[in-house]
Amino acid sequence: MRVRFRFLLAAAALSTVACVRETGPIVIGLAGPMQDPLGVSELRAAHYIVDQINQRGGVHGGRKLRLRVVDDSGTENGAVLAAQSLQDDGSVVAVVGHITSGTSIAAARVYGAGGDPIAMVSPTASSPELSGISRYAFRVCPSDLSHGPALARFARQTIGARRAGVLYLNDDYGRGVRQAFASEFTRLGGVVVEEDPFLPTTASLEPYLSRMKRSGVDVLMLATDVPGAEQALREMRRQGLQWPVVGSDALVGIEGDGALAEGIHISSAYLPDRQGDQNAKFVVDFFRATQGQRPNDVAGLTTDVFQLIAAALDAVGPDRSAIRNYLASVGNGRPAFDGVTGRIAFDSSGDVRGKPLTIAVVRNGRLVAEASE
């Protein structure tokens, strides 16, 4: 009798655990450089949209979403450690992140390996090297194969530039944008007269800009992050150079630098003044929820990733493999997803198909749409 009683107690305990698992929170991993402005934007958007989803009743029959946040420090080694931690955590059903190309490439190899792989959806990693790296890797932003040519067409056809200089970070992102820009600019009849790599530790950009000045550059392309662009702009000001400057979405946030950034043109997959009722509501709700913050492209794209994963959870539940298969089917047998940043449909490489870009200009501390691709 005592044995039977213990058996019944054990069975009841297992039943209680199963019930908790089926009704408790569903955990989504969030990975990025949390001390960096881009990571801050990602984290702010994640908290915003998770709160919104939970207030609407949660997912999959009323279950709440919960975040597990890991900081990849913006380095490849940090990304590998973060990815392994999230993959090993059996409660995490999908990962939003990483933010930069190098970290996303490093992490994707971890998420797609082992006996229980997990889907990673990057809001912003743009390197072409991420394409097809893993069946479990997706992104909702256009790759550098879109950003570079769009900037080249704008520089050549709208600005009328004929001789370009390029400063680029010597990493996956910088090399990707630089190559795509140079190929298209040359195809359109322009000449790239200088292509200079640098590192975050480079003390001065004076030698590069002085050479470009002697070479007769009439547009400067910055395939850099915000600190690198700020360094270049300060050196331009010091030398009295007034070239038009173009750069891709890694420069979002530089508009906060005021006069230093005034007039720079930046390619972006999302701007808060995007047309449409869905985006207008998002901008207002985000502004209220974040005490006056306007969403940038990281925030808009991060919001769409969470909404997409929430749709997957509603449809197939919190199973890693089923979520991956759901994502792969979006736009491929399953309708495309319409988010605040536009239409999302994935190709066989996990890349978003046909997502348009906008060329924005910095005016009075804000990014304002100037041309669409």
pLDDT by residue (tens digit) across 200-216? 899 999 999 999 999 99
Q: What is the pLDDT of residue 20?
A: 42
Residue type, 210: S
The alpha carbon of residue 343 and the mean position of all alpha carbons in its chain are separated, in whole angstroms, by 15
**Mean pLDDT, all residues of the chain:** 93
- Nearest C-alpha neighbor of 40 from the set 226, 310, 243: 226
In terms of Cα–Cα distance, which of 209, 214, 190, 186 is closest to 198? Answer: 209
Q: Locate tokens 């536009």: which residue? A: 342
Non-local (6+) Cβ contacts of 139 within 8 A are 104, 121, 122, 123, 124, 125, 126, 130, 350, 351, 352
How far, in Å, CA of 220 to CA of 217, rounded? 7
Give dist(CA 317, CA 93) in Å, integer.
10
Ranges of beta strands (E only) in the chain are 26-32, 65-71, 92-96, 120-122, 137-139, 163-169, 191-198, 219-223, 245-247, 265-268, 337-339, 342-344, 358-363, 366-372
Q: What percentage of the chain reaches a pLDDT higher than 90?
A: 87
- Asked if residue 147 has a cis previous peptide bond (ω within 30° of 0), the answer is no
At 327-370, the pLDDT tens digits run 999 999 999 999 999 999 999 999 999 998 999 999 999 999 88
Distance of CA 266 to the CA centre of its chain: 15
Type of residue found at 137: A
pLDDT at 1: 46
Bigger pLDDT: 321 vs 370: 321
- Biggest CA–CA distance in the chain, Å, is 95
Average pLDDT over residues 51-79: 97
Lowest mean pLDDT among 228-232, 252-256, 323-327, 343-347: 252-256
pLDDT on residue 172? 87
Given a cut of 60, whether residue 261 has pLDDT beyond it is yes
Q: Is 257 exposed, middle or buried (0-12, 13-18, 19+ CB in 10 A)?
A: middle
Q: How far apart are CA 343 and CA 324, in angstroms?
A: 19
List beta partners, residue 165.
194, 220
Instruction: Inform me whether the pLDDT recorded for 8 exceeds 90.
Output: no
Residue percentage of the chain with pLDDT more than 70: 94
Model confidence band, residue 21 (pLDDT cutoffs 50, 70, 90): low
Residues facing 222 on adjacent strands: 167, 247
Q: How far is CA 125 from the centre of its chain?
A: 5
**Whole-angstrom Cα distance, residue 137 to residue 127?**
13
Q: How many CB atoms lie within 10 A of CB 95?
A: 28
Question: What's the number of CA atoms in the CB half-sphere (13 Å) around residue 173?
Answer: 27
Residue 56 token pair = 């609407």
Place of tokens 């359109």: 188
Q: Residue holding tokens 């039943």?
A: 15
Which band of pLDDT confidence, cut at 50, 70 and 90, is reported for residue 14?
Answer: very low
Inter-residue contact 179 to 149 (CB < 8 Å)? no
pTM: 0.88
- Both tokens of 314, joined, read 């509603």
Residue-range domains of the chain with CATH? 7-142+274-356 (3.40.50.2300), 145-268 (3.40.50.2300)
